[in-house]
Amino acid sequence: MFLLSGFLGAFLGASLTFFFNMWKFHRDERSSRCDELCKAVAEASQRAHDYWAKTFEASDDQKLVEAELYAAQIIVDGIFSGFRPFLSIDDEKVIDELFSDLMDLLTGGNYSVPGRAKDLTRATNVKPVSADIIVQLRRAHRDTMPFHRISLAFHQNKRRTLDMPHGWK
């Protein structure tokens, strides 16, 4: 019986370790996906900023830049489709609207139209929209962590001040 309880304890310890490590593996995978998505959004916005800040030139370089911008858009969309199931419904709606705005800024308007003029509105708007997406993605990812709301409530509560009047009875 003594030997059986030792085996049972070892099995229980190994099982807990296995499940914890699997959870941590998936958590780290989601964190790296979030980092990868934020990096892809920043790179795509930089490419779009450079593209829309210049006028159209009928050259092979222009076609290569357009292809790179379109590829960056596909990468962002592909990574986000794998990240989407882990978001809450409310966060997904907000981020989806921001991504819609970003995709319009990346390849909307006169994208790949011969003779197009530079579009400074798109060039200046793409960076703030991508920064907003990155902030929202980081917040949404942090909200998926277990016990985050308890920790947040604790830290918000320690900064709270009472607003009762002095001398009140």
**At 124, which CATH number?**
1.20.120
Residue 87 lies in a domain: yes
Residue 9 lies in a domain: no
Token pair, residue 138, equals 């980081």
Q: Into how many domains does the chain fold?
A: 1
Share of the chain above pLDDT 90, in %: 44
Contact 11/92 with Cβ under 8 angstroms?
no
> Among candidates 78, 70, 79, which has minimal Cα distance to 44?
70
DSSP H helical segments within the chain, as ranges?
Answer: 2-52, 60-83, 89-107, 120-143, 148-157
Q: What is the Cα–Cα distance from 110 to 114, expressed in whole angstroms?
A: 9
Which pairs with CB-CB distance under 8 Å and at least 24 residues apart come from 95-99?
95/133, 95/136, 95/137, 95/140, 98/129, 98/132, 98/133, 98/136, 99/133
Which pairs with CB-CB distance under 8 Å and at least 24 residues apart come from 109-112?
111/66, 111/69, 112/66
Range of the domain at 39: 26-157
pLDDT interval class at 148 (50, 70, 90): low
* pTM score of the predicted model: 0.78
Residue 163 lies in a domain: no
Residue 13 lies in a domain: no
Residue 15 lies in a domain: no
For range 105-126, the mean pLDDT = 86
Residue 127 lies in a domain: yes
What are 80-91's pLDDT values in tens digits?
998 898 888 999
Residue 138 lies in a domain: yes
Q: Does residue 9 have a pLDDT over 90?
A: no
